């Protein structure tokens, strides 16, 4: 499943390429979808026990059950589903995240890594900048509970939201549609060829992270990229992108992960990645999902321990500090 010459040219010229049907829903995605049904079930039972929910919606499929919870409560905490930690001062020993075996196997999926290898070469590191986004129709979420994990994502380049050390790396963003992502469901939109036009200013926006200011978005060049379940989008680290708003009555569920050649900075050195494929040293590949999960628990412990010695060294409140709110374009 290596990318074709035509796909590679598209990636190089336009800064992105969509590999249609790269992943087979029944074989590649269903294990993750089933794993998430269990997380949702646990969460619902906890919410029910604490009185937050008056029903458990037993027997409904994932999509309907998710919608039912959000309709009842106005939100669904995104963190128990995410494959990352809350990089802000809310990080605590009770912080939730998900590092399950099915997800780990998807990060190591052969078809996916073959395609990644076409772009990055055979020494592939799984970068810890990674997220799961379950986006319900946006109007159902209370405005105070909206974030880029569960609602509209603002304009950015991935290079602009990681640490400077990764500026000159080949970090590759891989966006996987776990459900269809139509325009109404809030698919991604992007600016073709923006990857070759440099890094834009990103303004710090409270609760959103860093965003490219509107005056730098060439609206006439923006195109949306609807995708079907199993399609995979590969994006250059400087491709400008954002999401549309989910105005449908369905969920839009995606996974955005990143890879870089082994040895390059990940842009989040305090978080754990792993060798996903190494043709030169296969013994260095991480094969054990438990070890993967443990590496994240250890990283959290470290961040919490250093937080005791003052907020500056602890969990980062603003991961990207290269542009300040005083920048002329951010006013």
Ligand X SMILES: O=C(O)CCC(=O)C(=O)O
Beta bridge partners of 188: 225, 243
Answer for which of 175, 253, 259, 292 binds ligand X (CB under 6 A) is 175
* Smallest distance, ligand X to C-beta of residue 140, A: 16
| Backbone torsion region of residue 60, taken as left when φ is above 0, otherwise alpha when ψ lies between -120 and 50, otherwise beta | beta
Tell me which residue of 222, 229, 280 sits closest to 255, measured CA to CA: 229
Nearer to ligand X, 47 or 200 (CB): 200
Nearer to ligand X, 53 or 151 (CB): 151
For 16-45, letters b (16+ CB in 10 Å) and e give bbbbeebbeeeebbebbbebbeebbeebbe
DSSP-derived letter for residue 90 is T
Nearer to ligand X, 85 or 162 (CB): 162
Q: Are 22 and 232 spatial neighbours (Cβ–Cβ below 8 Å)?
A: yes
Residue 234 lies near ligand X (rule: CB under 6 A): no
75-104 residues in contact with ligand X (CB under 6 A) are none
CA dist., res. 264 & res. 281, Å (int): 16
* Smallest distance, ligand X to C-beta of residue 194, A: 13
Answer for which of 109, 243, 248, 266 binds ligand X (CB under 6 A) is 243
Q: Which residues contact 167 (CB under 8 A, 6 or more apart)?
A: 159, 199
Residue 246 lies near ligand X (rule: CB under 6 A): no
Beta bridge partners of 234: 17, 174
Nearer to ligand X, 44 or 161 (CB): 161
Which two three-digit tokens encode residue 311?
């907020």
* Smallest distance, ligand X to C-beta of residue 64, A: 22
Residue 133 lies near ligand X (rule: CB under 6 A): yes
**DSSP per-residue codes, 160-174:** GGS-GGGTTS--EEE
Nearer to ligand X, 138 or 256 (CB): 256
Residue 259 lies near ligand X (rule: CB under 6 A): no
Task: For the beta carbon of residue 188, count every other beta carbon within 10 angstroms.
Answer: 24
Residue 254 lies near ligand X (rule: CB under 6 A): yes
Answer for which of 153, 179, 194, 266 binds ligand X (CB under 6 A) is 153
* Smallest distance, ligand X to C-beta of residue 306, A: 27
Residue 126 lies near ligand X (rule: CB under 6 A): no
Residue ranges binding ligand X (CB under 6 A): 133, 153, 158, 173, 175, 188, 241, 243, 254, 256
């Amino acid at each position: 499943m290596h990318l074709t010459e035509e796909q590679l040219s598209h990636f190089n010229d336009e800064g992105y390429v969509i590999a249609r049907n790269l992943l087979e829903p029944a074989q590649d995605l269903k294990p993750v979808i089933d794993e998430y049904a269990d997380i949702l079930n646990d969460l619902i039972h906890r919410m029910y026990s604490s009185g937050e929910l008056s029903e458990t919606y037993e027997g409904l499929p994932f999509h309907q059950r998710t919608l039912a919870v959000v309709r009842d409560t106005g939100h669904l905490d995104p963190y128990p589903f995410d494959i990352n930690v809350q990089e802000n001062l809310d990080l605590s020993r009770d912080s939730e995240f998900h590092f399950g075996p099915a997800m780990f196997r998807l990060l190591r999926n052969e078809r996916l890594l073959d395609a990644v290898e076409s772009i990055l070469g055979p020494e592939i590191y799984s970068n810890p900048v990674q997220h799961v986004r379950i986006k319900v129709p946006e109007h159902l979420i209370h405005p105070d509970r909206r974030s880029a994990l569960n609602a509209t994502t603002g304009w950015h380049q991935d290079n602009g939201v990681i640490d400077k050390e990764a500026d000159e790396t080949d970090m590759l963003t891989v966006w996987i549609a776990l459900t269809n992502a139509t325009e109404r469901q809030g698919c991604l939109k992007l600016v073709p060829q923006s990857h070759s036009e440099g890094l834009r200013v990103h303004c710090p926006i409270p609760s959103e992270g860093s965003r490219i200011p509107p005056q730098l978005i060439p609206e006439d060049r923006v195109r949306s990229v609807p995708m079907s379940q199993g399609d995979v989008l590969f994006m250059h680290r400087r491709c400008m992108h954002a999401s549309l708003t989910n105005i449908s009555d369905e969920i839009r569920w995606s996974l955005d992960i990143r890879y870089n050649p082994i040895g390059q900075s990940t842009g989040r050195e305090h978080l754990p990645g792993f060798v996903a494929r190494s043709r030169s040293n296969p013994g260095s590949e991480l094969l054990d999902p438990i070890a993967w999960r443990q590496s994240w628990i250890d990283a959290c412990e470290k961040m919490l321990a250093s937080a005791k010695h003052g907020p500056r060294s602890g969990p980062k409140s603003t991961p990207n500090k290269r542009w300040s709110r005083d920048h002329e374009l951010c006013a």
